[in-house]
Amino acid sequence: MTENGDATPLVRLEDVNKHFGNLHVLKDIQLTVDRGEVLVVIGPSGGGKSTLCRTINRLETIDSGTIVFDGEPLPAEGKALARLRSEVGMVFQSFNLFAHKTILENVTLGPIKVRGKARADAERRGMELLERVGIATQAEKYPAQLSGGQQQRTAIARALAMDPKMILFDEPTSALDPEMVQEVLDVMVGLARDGMTMVVVTHEMGFARRAANRVVFMADGQIVEENTPEEFFTNARTDRAKDFLSKILTH
C-alpha cells in the first residue's frame, strides 16, 4: 500500500476524543489510513462512524487528541483549513449537490474558485470526470433533474475534480433506491482500483469484500475491531461485531 514510495500513513488519529454535550461520541480513537488504502467503517447506528469520518476534514472539531494529515496536524481554521479540505474529498449520504448550479458547474466550481484553474481547463477536466462516472450527457442539467444514483456519481466527480489526496464517503448509498446502489458502488470500486485513498462508512458488504483493504468496526464511540474484510465477515473476533453482523446478515 505504499504509493510513490511514501510509507508514512496519510492520516493518523491519536487518542481522539469528542463529545456532543454529555454524549461521548469518540473515545480514545487510534487509527491510521495508509496511502492508497481503502478503509471501510461499519457499525451500529449512533456508534460515531459519521463523526469519525467528519473529523478527518474537520467538519467536526475534536476535544482532545491529534489528527495528522499527510504529515501535518489538521489546521484549526482559516485559509489553511480550507486548503486541507480541498485536499480531502467528501461524499455525503444526501449528495448535497449545489442545487442552483448545473451538474458541470457543480464539478468545476471548486477547481475554479478554490484552485484558481482557468474555466476552460476546469470544464474540460470536469467533462472527463463526468464521462468517467457515466453522466457526461447530463452535464447541463440541474441536480433535481437527476436520479439519486446520478446525483451521487456527480458528487463523486465533484470530489475528484479537486484531485484530492483522499475521499471520505459517509454512507454514500444509504439514501439510494436499491436499483441505483450498484452504479455508485461500481464507480467507487473503480476509484479503489486506481489507488485512491478512501474511508468509506457503509454497510455494503459486497463493496467491502471487493474493494476494502481493512474493515473497522465501531460501536459506542470506540473502535471495537479491525480486520480484513474476509475475516471480519466470516469470522469476526469480537462478540459485539458477531452480534451486529448476525443482525445485518439476516435481512
Partner 1 sequence: MDELIEYGPYLWEGFQVNLGLSAVCAVLSLVLGTILVSMRVSPTPVLRAAGTAYVNIVRNTPLTLILAFSALGLSDQIGLVFSEEPSTNGFWLVVMGLSAYTACFVCEALRSGINTVPFGQAEAARAIGLTFSQSLRMIILPQAFRAVISPLGSVMIAMIKNTTVAIAAGYLADVAFKMKDTFDTTGVSIPIFIGIALAFMAVILPIGLFTGWLAKRLAVAR
Tell me which residue has cell 470530489: 159
Among 36, 47, 48, 110, binds partner 1 (CB under 8 A): 110
55 is a contact residue toward partner 1 (CB under 8 A): no
Residue of minimal Cβ distance to Mg ion: 50
Contacts of 134 (CB under 8 A, 6+ apart): 153, 183, 187
Closest CA to 202 of 11, 50, 26: 50
| Residue placing its CB nearer to partner 1 in the complex, 15 or 163 | 163
Nearer to partner 1, 53 or 241 (CB): 53
d(CA 31, CA 34): 10
Kindly give, in sequence order, each residue whose CB lies less than 8 Å from that of residue 206, ignoring residues fewer than 6 positions away: 185
Which of the listed partners (Mg ion, partner 1, ligand ATP, none) does 137 bind, with a CB threshold of 5 to 8 Å by partner kind? Answer: none
- 114 interacts with partner 1 by CB under 8 A: yes
Nearest in space to 114 (alpha carbons), one of 88, 136, 93, 92: 88
Question: Alpha-carbon torsion 191, 194, 199, 202, what sign?
Answer: positive
The CB-of-42 to Mg ion minimum distance in angstroms stands at 11
Between residues 160 and 219, which has the closer beta carbon with respect to partner 1? 160
* Distance of closest approach, residue 23 Cβ to partner 1, in angstroms: 20
Task: State which residue, 146 or 208, has the beta carbon closest to ligand ATP.
Answer: 208
Q: Which residues, 119 to 148, sit near partner 1 by CB under 8 A?
A: 142-145
Q: What does each C-alpha distance from 15 to 19, 64, 74, 216, 223 come to in angstroms?
A: 13, 7, 14, 16, 12
Q: What is the closest distance, in whole angstroms, from the C-beta atom of residue 177 to partner 1 in the complex?
A: 17
The CA distance from 80 to 97, in Å, is 24
Kindly tell me which of 20 and 98 has the beta carbon lying closer to ligand ATP: 20
* Touching partner 1, residues 11-30 (CB under 8 A): none
Residue 235 CB-density burial (10 A; 0-12 exposed, 13-18 middle, 19+ buried) = exposed
Binding site for partner 1 (CB under 8 A): 57, 59, 78-79, 82-90, 92, 94-100, 109-110, 113-114, 142-145, 155, 158-159, 162
